[in-house]
Amino acid sequence: MDTEQNNTEQKRLRILGEDELESIYGRPCFTYEHRCDYFSLSQREKDLLEVLRSNKSRAYFILQLGYFKAKHLFFIFDLHEAYADLEYVLNQYFDNTKIVDMSAIDKSTRLKQQQMILGVFAYPPEKVS
């Protein structure tokens, strides 16, 4: 069975390399200018922050929102993996408050936030007749 799987994998056409796949589907790597654009919040987005309890949850929401604006994808990540972006968000919105627990938020909170973000952008888009 392993031989069949290897033969199948070898027969598949690889159009994109690992770097190209990462640039398309990987979490964005923002410059300072990108952070200014993608992590800026509309009034509606700021209002949604009030629903969230902790600064960690709010910061994670802003990061998810910015990444979604950039790629229209959601990512699962620990805060230390997105440290430069987190540092920017904390400086912008939380008076440089430090977050001690740098792990990812729990799954139910993450999914709730993703539904909130989808609501902001009216996803899925309306079908045009």
Mean pLDDT of 38-55: 95
Torsion of CA 97, 111, 66, 70, to 10 degrees: 160
Residues 74-81: what's their mean pLDDT? 93
At residue 5 the predicted structure's pLDDT band, cuts being 50, 70 and 90, is low
Is 80 within the bounds of a domain? yes
- Whether 18 is in a domain gets the answer no
Is position 69 within any domain? yes
Domain presence at residue 66: yes
Domain count, the chain: 1
Domain housing 84: 28-120
